[in-house]
Amino acid sequence: MTDGTLALDRAAQELLFTEARTANTFTDEPVTDAQVAAIYDLVKWGPTAMNTQPLRLTLVRSPQARERLVAHMNEGNKAKTAAAPLTIIVTADADFHEHLPVTFPHKPDAREVMAANPGRARMAHFNAAIQLGYLIVGIRAAGLAAGPMAGYDAEGIKKEFLADDNRQVVAVVNVGRPGPDAWFDRNPRLSYDQVVTEI
């Protein structure tokens, strides 16, 4: 079913946005590598500036890795991070420019120019945030619930897992099937008139 204005059918609108919710509990059902690969193969096509694609995903599933991660989460995020079948540490790779000869081939000096750009880490963070938006949509496209979190010790996570990489932690996202009482009440959204103006 489509409505009059959007080309996307209503079932997809509901799956991705209007009925999708941030989950706070999860069932034990595993999230497979095949599911993660399908999500990535979908959302990788979302555009980034200069095709920089700085998003990197570190999967946490084993009890050992999970315990190390939970130690760096804020108190209110520990229980759900311990219980999710998959948690993704989402990072921005400030060394994205190493890939530019392949990913942005029509500008042969892009790697060299970017290597000297002091704004590179900021550019990585910004574009990885755009890709985080795609990723949350993609997790939902797989029929799974996402639980993105901002409450954690970013430096602690970096030292624990990513000490050798030139990456910043952008978000930590729980992924799985929603469990009992998975949802809080839905918070209100700003109205069109509060957000959109024309000049």
- Does position 22 interact with a second copy (CB under 8 A)? The reply is yes
Give the one residue of 109, 143, 163, 180 binding a second copy; rule: CB under 8 A: 143
Record the tokens describing residue 190, joined without a space: 């700003």
Residue 24 sits in the site that holds a second copy (CB under 8 A): no
Cβ 63 to a second copy shortest distance, Å: 12
Choose between 12 and 78: whose C-beta lies nearer to a second copy. 12
Is the four-CA dihedral 159, 164, 168, 169 of positive or negative sign? negative
Rank residues 56 and 80 by Cβ distance to a second copy and give the closer one: 56
- Quick check: 15 and 146 in contact, CB under 8 A? no
Answer yes or no: are the C-beta atoms of 164 and 91 closer than 8 Å: no
CB atoms within 10 A of CB 70: 18
Q: Is 181 in the site for a second copy (CB under 8 A)?
A: no
Residue among 78, 85, 104, 178 that touches a second copy (CB under 8 A): 104
- Enclosing H/E stretch for 43: helix 33-43
Tokens 């030292």 — which residue? 159
DSSP assigned state of 199: -
Q: How far apart are alpha carbons 151 and 78 in whole angstroms?
A: 10
**Which of the stretches 7-15, 77-85, 110-118, 175-183 binds a second copy when contact is defined by CB under 8 A?**
7-15
Q: Taking contact as CB under 8 A, which single stretch among the options 70-78, 111-119, 174-182, 184-192 is the one that binds a second copy?
A: 184-192
Q: Is the dihedral of CA 65, 134, 195, 14 positive or negative?
A: negative
176 is an interface residue for a second copy by CB under 8 A: no
Per CB under 8 A, does 195 bind a second copy?
A: yes
Alpha helical stretches, state H, 54-115: 63-70, 75-83, 100-103, 110-115
Of positions 78, 111, 125, 177, contacts a second copy by CB under 8 A: 125
Shortest distance in whole angstroms from residue 180 CB to a second copy: 20
The yes or no reply on residue 111 touching a second copy (CB under 8 A) is no
